[in-house]
Amino acid sequence: MKAFVTGAAGFIGSHLTDALLAAGHTVTGLDDLSTGRLENLSRAGEHPRFRFRQGTVLDRARVEEDAHGADVVFHFAAAVGAFVIRDRTLESLRTNVHGTENVVEAAYRNNATLLLASTSEIYGKNTLAGLREDDDRVLGSPLKSRWSYAEAKALDESLVDAYCRQRGLAAVIVRLFNTVGPRQTGRYGMVIPRFVRQALTGEPLTVFGTGTQIRCFCHVADVVPALIALAHEPRAFGSAVNLGSTEQVTISDLADRVVAATRSRSEVRYLPYEQAYGPGYEDMLRRVPDCTLAKELVGFEAHTTLDEIIDSVAEEIARRVRQPTVPRR
């Protein structure tokens, strides 16, 4: 099978690329290296069935050319991370809306199957423990930068849905809930690599808000096989599917567990949201998926526990911290 992966040098895209190559597929990877890193492709880069293209999904001709002949398109190129969305709201909107439009059209023209990486942000402030795919979205003002990301991703979902219904595109939308693991950087706001780095370097762990907000973290190694399986499962086409863990943790508990796992002497410091993200930031107090659909479709289960996740991230970041010549984040 020929796969086209956008965002191939990113955290999830690079793990997906490695898995596709290991399964015998041919992969073209596109990335503009805005938040992705070539270092993430050091294994794939050596592979005879892999070719890397540096460019943006906003470049329609580039996307058309790279998608040519693809059987499956995995669309992971996006502006992500709370700090990116806050600081580069306009560019993020353009990438996440127009970039996706280009990729969806290219998949359609090639008669390829499409997997769209979407997000649990879609559900916004809905705190139901066990969010199902057809649950309501509860969003704040579109003028708050955080919700602009959810707006863009929702538009992407509607676009894919319309291509499925009106043009017969075979596509599945995957809503990812806090996927974590090695190669994820804390530079753009993601909490686990930030806490682990802070703990390993003796800096205070910065808990934003009260720390009572709840998340479920899922290891990328559990997510990637499900992505490949969903792209091959016709029963999934035309649907959105949640992928995540159901092991809940509060952010203050997470900080304590990172300190314990790394045997760190760092303190835990609480920062108001305003100081962390600027004025008007709204967080979600709980975000827990119901993954019954993914289990039914492809037997998905999140096997990796939170403690195992923390250990695997700590192992990688400890290696980076010990090698200061390697980019630090």
Binding flag, residue 289, ligand UDP (CB under 6 A): no
Residue found by looking up tokens 């804390």 in the block = 186
Instruction: Tell me the H-state helices in 232-305.
Output: 251-261, 273-277, 292-298
Binder among 27, 172, 207, 291 for ligand UDP (CB under 6 A): 207
Q: How far is the CB of 46 from ligand UDP (least distance, A)?
A: 31
Query: Is 281 one of the annotated active-site residues of the chain?
Result: no
| The one among 176, 240, 251, 313 contacting ligand UDP by CB under 6 A | 251
Please report whether residue 253 would count as binding ligand UDP according to CB under 6 A.
no
Q: Are 220 and 178 in contact (CB under 8 A)?
A: no
323 Ramachandran zone, left/alpha/beta (phi>0; psi -120 to 50): beta
Q: Which stretch binds ligand UDP (CB under 6 A): 3-11, 49-57, 186-194, 239-247?
A: 186-194
| Single-letter residue type at 66 | D
* 141 in Cβ contact with 100 (< 8 Å): no
Closer Cβ to ligand UDP, 29 or 209, answer by number: 209
Query: CB atoms < 10 A from the CB of 226, how many?
Result: 23
Q: Note whether 82 binds ligand UDP by CB under 6 A.
A: yes
Contact region with ligand UDP (CB under 6 A), list: 51-59, 205-213, 218-226, 237-245: 205-213
**Span of 94-102, 151-159, 206-214, 314-322 interacting with ligand UDP by CB under 6 A:** 206-214
Q: Please, which residue, 65 or 253, has the CB nearer to ligand UDP?
A: 253
Question: Of the two residues 29 and 36, which places its CB atom closer to ligand UDP in the complex?
Answer: 36
Closest CA to 184 of 63, 30, 28, 36: 36
- Name the token pair of 235: 């029963």
Q: How far is Cα 5 from Cα 78, in angstroms, rounded to an integer?
A: 12
CA distance 310 to 320: 15
Active site residues: 149
Residues that bind ligand UDP (CB under 6 A): 82, 178, 189-191, 194, 206-209, 213, 215, 251, 283
